[in-house]
Amino acid sequence: MSRSRGLKTSILISLFTVILLTGALAATVLAQIPANVRVGIVTTNAGSTYRNASSISFSVKGNYQIINIGAVPGEETIAPAVEGEQWQVYYLPAGVQLYKNGQPLDKVYTGPVVVKETAHDAVNRVSLLSFTSGGSVQSINRSYRGNMEFRSSGNSIIAINELPLEEYLYGVVPKEMSNSWPMEALKAQATAARTYVVANYNKRVLEGYNMLDTSTDQVYGGAGCEGANATKAVQDTAGQLILYNGSPVSALYHSNSGGHTEDSENVWSNALPYLRGKPDPYSAGRGLANWSYTTTIDDVRIKLNQAQQNGSQIGPIKSFKLEKYPSGRVKTVIITDIYGNTISRSGNEFGQLFNPGFKTDSNGGDNTKRFMSRFFDVNTGEVITPSYSVLDVSGQSVAVEATALYGVSDYGNVAILNSNNAEFYVIDASGSLSFSKAPSGKVVFEGHGWGHGVGLSQWGAYEMAVQGKTYTEILKFYYTGVEIKSNY
């Protein structure tokens, strides 16, 4: 969720019970924080890292048994799962097929099949080893607390990790922030992540789980990524939620606001009173607060035309115009070519022409030189507009810019020379020559921040913590008009 994020504005309506007396709103009662959360690890959702599996391999550590919860009239115990065994779950049209150490069990189960703790224990782990998709075996090698459910979905097997909500947060906080960050920043992250789950608990109920384990919801790395500081931050804030008018907020967050957070309606359709954009000096000097991306004008044109699946192609570019929100983020980029044609792209669409998903460099490159958000300006100071010399009627040399050149016939008719071409063509004693009409050279996009800019800025929280602010002060800065309460 701290990266380039997906839609996160749905509110968990089922958490609230509204009591109406004589037509008036009498009370709003907040339900308890759910004890467990179901996390989609291997799914069919496009937001998952691991998806469309025909089989999944797993092993266990601790005390587990394998249960068929789809049995009639009640649960059916299939077998104990013992340390040292390797299991595989295969999709079949009739259900799921289990293999133990390479040997199939006699029965095909309708499922879902659950690798279930015999008793909840902090040392119990289910390890997902690998999965097969499209005939290719891909590694997972991650361990998880709690239970692991396998079920058919379409033509695939999906894996859902069910565990206590607070233990789920042990695997979220150190993935969304570094375990080495200041404790107050980690506490702010823990409280925001907990509140996000509660507010969006039914978001994916039709898919069989509550959260995805990626930045589409919140990045969750399982037990293997846990860190002592992050775990303590979760424990120190246990049960605490961010509330607006007594209800949990959809606690969105991102990596770095670049110096100004954003109104929620400028990213999604809902204008939420607690997600208001504001100047954010705490983010200005941390992380990807500033970046720049340099390319050529012709590269911009090529990428725009490659993205034009159905539509006219734009010619050599003459100018850029940026329409912005008050925060400085770009709403629309309008590009005009030398023929007067225009093409428009949203700030997100335009930026992702050069860096799809606003991803960091997986090879460890300098991310300050990548296109990282829609918060940017364009600098065409290095652009060269071609000019040429022509002779006027008196024989004097006159410089003209090359975007348009007119000719006058013997009869006084005026026309643009080569009006439909990107070049002028002239003939001298040596033959035909061409000269470009189009501006050329480099264009620099100078930008700020990484992420959608709504809600908590993680690097801003870092700086606030360094300056001695508490996690409640951090949360109240980034979420307008909220309170932090526990024991709900």
- Tell me if 276 sits within 8 A of 252, measured CB to CB: no
Residues 16 and 94 in one domain: no
Residues 117 and 140 in one domain: yes
* 47 inside domain: no
Tokens of 94: 């009739």
* 41 inside domain: no
Helix (H) or strand (E) holding 461: helix 458-466
Q: CB-based contacts of 88: which residues, under 8 Å, 6+ apart?
A: 55, 56, 57, 58, 98, 99, 102
**At residue 309, what is the residue type?**
Q
Hey, what long-range contacts does 360-363 have (CB within 8 A, 24 or more apart)?
A: 360/3
* 44 inside domain: no
Closest CA relative to residue 60, chosen from 91, 81, 29: 81
Q: Which of 130, 154, 178 is the last residue of a domain?
A: 154
321-371 pLDDT, tens digit per residue, is: 999 999 999 999 999 988 888 999 999 999 999 999 999 998 889 999 999
Closest CA relative to residue 297, chosen from 448, 436, 416: 436
Residues 204 and 282 in one domain: yes
What range does the domain containing 67 cover? 55-154
Residues 119 and 260 in one domain: no
Residue 462 CA from chain centroid, whole number: 20
Give the number of domains in the chain. 4
Residues 335 and 355 in one domain: yes
Given this model, what pLDDT does residue 319 score?
87
Please state, in angstroms and rounded to a whole number, the distance separating the CA atoms of residues 209 and 214: 13
The conformation of residue 32, written as its DSSP 8-state character, comes to P
* 132 inside domain: yes
Q: What is the pTM of this model?
A: 0.83
Given this model, what pLDDT does residue 7 score?
35
Tokens of 359: 């991803």
Residues 319 and 354 in one domain: yes
Given this model, what pLDDT does residue 338 score?
80
Residues 322 and 303 in one domain: yes
Q: HSE of 130 in the Cβ direction (CA atoms, 13 Å)?
A: 8
pLDDT under 50 in the chain at which residues?
A: 3-31, 384
Given this model, what pLDDT does residue 200 score?
95
Given this model, what pLDDT does residue 27 score?
31
Residues 422 and 464 in one domain: no
Residues 77 and 190 in one domain: no
